[in-house]
Structure 1
Amino acid sequence: MADSDSMDGDDKGWRAAARRLLPLLIVILLIGSLGALLYSASSASQDHDRALAEQRRSFQIIVLARAFEARTARAEVTLARYVISLDPDTGRLFQDQWRSAATLLKTLTYATRSTGWQRGNVEALQYAFEQRGKTLNEIGLRTTYDQKMSALGRFHQAGSSQDLRRITALLDQVIQAENARLRERSLAVTLAGDRTEFVGKTSRLLGLALLICVLFAAWFANIAYKDRRTARRLADMETERADRLDEAVRARTAELSEAYQQLQQESTDRAAAEENLRQMHKMDAVGQLTGGIAHDFNNMLAVVVGGLELAKRNIRLKPQDAARHLDNAMDGANRAAALTRRLLAFARAEPLLPSAVDPDALLTGMADLIDRTIGDQIKVAFEHKASGWHIFVDQHQMENAILNLCVNARDAMDGRGHLTIITGQATLAAGDVGDCAAGDYVMLTVGDDGCGMSADVLTRVFEPFFTTKPVGKGTGLGLSQIFGLVRQCAGEIRIESTPGAGTSVHIYLPRRAVEADAVTSRATGTERAPVRHPPTRILVVEDDPRVLNQTMAALGELGHLPIACDHPSKAARLLDNNADISLIISDVLMPDMTGPEMIKALPAAYADLPVLFVTGYAGDSMDSADFAGHDVLRKPYTLLALGNALSTALSGSRHPGTAQAAE
């Protein structure tokens, strides 16, 4: 019984102890649970805040990247407007926008300083931005220093440059990386919210004893819910803003593309207009030559007619006097032919090729043109001091430039005064005159004693379409074209002018080394003796009966056997009836069809037959494609020139060329 009682007592004591310890255990459990819940709630809140902070940083980086992209695109659009309008305010606006873009890039660099996986992209973006800045600043400088065409060409190249594509690609990489990081951080926010919600559910199971813990958990849950809702609202706002920014960038890109196309069209239209105005300016100068040319041409015709008439009277009784009169008539005819060729060559509009030119000989040949252009009331003095130095220019463009300077001088002197044209030699060091490199230069000076120019006019004198002449009296393209020609030849142009004291225009062109034999040949104008050929059957196609008879007689004099053809449609039949024809001489301009058209229409059996074209218009000989490689002889020509042309044609030469008439 005692043992039983002791066992019951022990059991009761254990139960009593258990009852005493149970509240303590419950309290410990509650406190531990509360501590665990508090710790879990605190940890979840910290994770949530950290995830939200990372989200905000990603949004900030994306916004900075989009803003930098938009600011860069706006700056390039402003630069395009500056290149087109030449407005200094637009240029300064471009500089402000570009500096603002640089500031945004620095902010982006600072925002990504702690993200090693973005550092490489941002550093590469900085380098590409610096390279792009150098390119755009160069375009701006070219535009500022009035090199608009060069700036337009450079801007066209910059539109498809590697650095622009590199900037766009790097921005896309930065944004894509941040979007991927943003998705990870959004998942972290979601997980933190789920943990908070789990704590709230667990706290409700503790009952009233854990009411405080439940309240705290609910409070944390409420905060987390608000933060997540705020984060979602911010994310939606940023997404909407990013969409608007992307749409704006696309719109700006479309505007820039449209502006670039308009710029290309305006450049093409302006080039065509300038070319038309240049030709109109040249033809205006040709029109001013008309009176003087008619006077000189009539004088030459008087020499020809008088010489022939006197030779006709004296051919039997005084053959020596007749020969002298015939020589005078031939000299007058040659001078008239040279004058006609010079006028036609000057008036043509085709593009020309540069060659070595003797400036002294060039001015000597232009003396008559200059006299006829500026009138008899202006005294012209030439000083030839180039002493055999040559320049490498397009001769006709150089003639046009000199004639333009003379016309400007005439207008400055109001048609009465003294004009001086000087050529000379100059040896320059680097930087002595503008951008001229060190070396030998030929200096051409055109000076007058006219009204001169003010300092304001001198600063704008090379601007296209700028002129001080009344409306209808000038295009404003003369000096700008001369400036472009001189720069293309690696030379410089300088103008010295004093109001009321006159103006001097100095042109420096690099010296061109020329072989002595070539210079002597061109200077003497000698022709090689023609290679003698046996009597040859030649078909002569000419619609003018007088020219046809003269050509037949000349060929007979050279020992050949000509066959007359007065219309190009008869050529094929005459070739069929005369199988021994070895050469065709054809005029270029004829009724119904031209000479080249007639040759193309001949049967294939005559495709290899040599052809010599004859023309009296200098412009005909420029389109070598129509002549298919055959030689061209200009009217009027001498027997020696005709013999040389026949020698070349009968020798089988099939390259484009022009046989020059003897003067």
Structure 2
Amino acid sequence: MSPTGAGQHEPIAGTSRWDDERTGVVQERARLSEQLAQAQRLDLAGRLAGGVAHDLKNLITVLSSYLDLASGSVQDLAPRVGDGPVETILDDLDQIRQAVDRTEALARKLMEFAGGDGATEPVDLHRAVASVHARLAPALAEGVTVELDLPDDLPAVRVDTDGLEQALEQLLRNSNDALPEGGTIVVRARVTDTAAPGGFTSGPRPPLDAGRRHVRLAVLDDGTGMEDETLTRAFEPLFSTKPGARGSGLGLPTVLSFVQQIDGMIDVHSVPGEGTTIALALPVATDDVDVDERPVGDGAGRLVVLVDPNERARRLVTEMLATAGHRVLACADGETGLRLLEQQGGDVLVAELALPGLPGWRLVERARASRPRLPVLLFTSGQAPTRTTADVRMLVKPFSSERLLQTLDELAP
């Protein structure tokens, strides 16, 4: 054996392996750091979206309600000015209403991306699907047909109604866009054991409650489908699965957000040139609440303490309530609302959830400390409440005068 030359050394055993492990650790740390940064960016985007949507919904509530009032006032003018001018003005108001509806849809998408309102109730899927189908049918491309495949004995699901309809509407629009030459969209629902083979096995999803039944609501099309690269990024915010600049990149992320809020699951299967299937696992309602009937009382003449920091919204809600015969004590902050309840009483507390200084849930707790059975109605712009309190009704903005009064009547006196 020849002696080792000057300046030369035998390699230390295991050094290469140690370097490889250290490199792997560094790479893993870099990957985790990038994931954390991405999560923080998405959280910030969600917070910004939620703030913008909250302000938009306040404005939409005011616009929608004053449009209703304006339409009624214009119709009252018919005996004096004739039907012709009145119809012209009503047509103009209808154009404004359509623009407001589109703005509301955008605000709803932003709010769902930010986290939704988390309020669920038993929902009849037959009604929800039929409602969305009727709304979208006129907008479908030429040659596109929709088939509904829902069993008659389908159980109610416990979801957020607006979130479900928005998610279904988005899926139908996506399928429609994937059928430029025409084709078929199928909306299918089945009660399923999601743990069974062939169940929800792809796409982002939270764990399901294994002891609870779910309804698999699927939207299938025989359209263009998605390439693997597109499919892997389909739920990434601001990434559009549609060619060019046609999509906003918020559609499928809002669907995913809705599913996560209800502890459901989403499954995606797509083959280029063959079509796409997107299925949602929706939890079956476990109670026996009738989804078709709600008790409604007269409730008129109650003394309402109204707390809303938005002056225009506060003035508008006051007008809605006063028109129905209620008396209103209105203020802009929770502390003042508590003083009004203490000094002048009040049959019901109506308040915005997002209040300056004293948050809505804290206001409810302090008001209920001295009056445990005080009926409470809280307004929300769709932001998920961080606290829960029994016997508190939630009303998501924007809302109509009819919806406000009906919800108020449903509160026990």
- What is the TM-score when the length of structure 1 is the normalising length? 0.38
Q: In 2 relative to 1, CA 510–397 (structure 1 residues): closer, same or farther, beyond 3 Å?
A: closer
Query: Is the counterpart of residue 255 in structure 1 residue 28 in structure 2?
Result: no
Contact 1:378–1:410, Cα closer than 8 Å, also in 2: no
What residue number does 2:321 align with? 551
What residue number does 1:584 align with? 349
Q: CA deviation at 1:564?
A: 2.3
Query: Is the counterpart of residue 423 in structure 1 residue 187 in structure 2?
Result: yes
Distance 2:340 2:259 in 1: 54
Larger radius of gyration: 1
What residue number does 1:623 align with? 385
Q: In 2 relative to 1, CA 271–361 (structure 1 residues): closer, same or farther, beyond 3 Å?
A: farther
Please give the residue correspondences for 1:135-146 in structure 2 after superposition, counting only pairs within 5 Å: none
Distance 2:322 2:256 in 1: 50
Please give the residue correspondences for 1:513-532 in structure 2 after superposition, counting only pairs within 5 Å: 517-518=288-289, 521-522=290-291, 524=292, 526-530=293-297
Please give the residue correspondences for 1:129-140 in structure 2 after superposition, counting only pairs within 5 Å: none
Q: In 2 relative to 1, CA 632–371 (structure 1 residues): closer, same or farther, beyond 3 Å?
A: same
In structure 1, the residue corresponding to 2:231 is in which secondary structure? coil
Contact 1:422–1:445, Cα closer than 8 Å, also in 2: yes
Query: Is the counterpart of residue 644 in structure 1 residue 410 in structure 2?
Result: yes
Please give the residue correspondences for 1:79-98 in structure 2 after superposition, counting only pairs within 5 Å: none
Contact 1:359–1:391, Cα closer than 8 Å, also in 2: yes
- What is the TM-score when the length of structure 2 is the normalising length? 0.56
Residues 577-604 of structure 1: CA deviation (Å, up to 9, x unaligned): 43x45643334567xx3773696599x7
Of the three residues 499, 504, 507, the one matched with 2:275 is 504
What residue number does 1:364 align with? 130
Q: CA deviation at 1:278?
A: 10
Q: In 2 relative to 1, CA 496–594 (structure 1 residues): closer, same or farther, beyond 3 Å?
A: same
Of the three residues 242, 267, 273, the one matched with 2:35 is 267
- Return the letter of the residue paired with 1:363: V
Distance 1:310 1:584 in 2: 34
Contact 1:386–1:442, Cα closer than 8 Å, also in 2: no
Contact 1:539–1:563, Cα closer than 8 Å, also in 2: yes
In structure 2, the residue corresponding to 1:422 is in which secondary structure? strand
Query: Is the counterpart of residue 400 in structure 1 residue 163 in structure 2?
Result: no
- Return the letter of the residue paired with 1:421: I
Contact 1:540–1:552, Cα closer than 8 Å, also in 2: no
- Alignment RMSD (CA, Å): 6.0
- Return the letter of the residue paired with 2:30: Q
Contact 1:393–1:489, Cα closer than 8 Å, also in 2: no
Contact 1:496–1:505, Cα closer than 8 Å, also in 2: yes
- Return the letter of the residue paired with 2:324: A
Residues 293-315 of structure 1: CA deviation (Å, up to 9, x unaligned): x9xx99x988875555446878x
Q: In 2 relative to 1, CA 641–405 (structure 1 residues): closer, same or farther, beyond 3 Å?
A: closer
Of the three residues 539, 559, 564, the one matched with 2:305 is 539
What residue number does 1:463 align with? 232
Distance 1:313 1:583 in 2: 39
Q: CA deviation at 1:265?
A: 1.4
In structure 2, the residue corresponding to 1:619 is in which secondary structure? coil
In structure 1, the residue corresponding to 2:131 is in which secondary structure? helix
Contact 2:109–2:254, Cα closer than 8 Å, also in 1: no
In structure 2, the residue corresponding to 1:506 is in which secondary structure? strand
Higher RCO, 1 or 2 (CA under 8 Å, sep at least 6)?
2
What residue number does 1:112 align with? none
Contact 2:364–2:376, Cα closer than 8 Å, also in 1: no
Unaligned 5+ residue runs, structure 1?
Answer: 1-229, 235-239, 287-293, 315-334, 557-561, 651-663
Residues 242-278 of structure 1: CA deviation (Å, up to 9, x unaligned): 8x34666555444333222112112333455678899
Contact 1:541–1:567, Cα closer than 8 Å, also in 2: yes
Q: Which has the higher strand share?
A: 2
- Return the letter of the residue paired with 2:132: M
What residue number does 1:148 align with? none
Number of residue pairs matched?
Answer: 345
What residue number does 2:219 align with? 444
Of the three residues 139, 142, 149, the one matched with 1:385 is 149
In structure 1, the residue corresponding to 2:277 is in which secondary structure? strand
Please give the residue correspondences for 1:294-443 in structure 2 after superposition, counting only pairs within 5 Å: 305-307=70-72, 309-310=74-75, 344-348=107-111, 349-351=113-115, 359-367=125-133, 370=136, 375=139, 378=142, 381-388=145-152, 389=154, 396=163, 399-400=166-167, 403-404=170-171, 406-407=173-174, 409-410=176-177, 413=180, 418=182, 420-424=184-188, 443=218
Contact 1:356–1:390, Cα closer than 8 Å, also in 2: no
In structure 1, the residue corresponding to 2:174 is in which secondary structure? helix
- Return the letter of the residue paired with 1:618: S
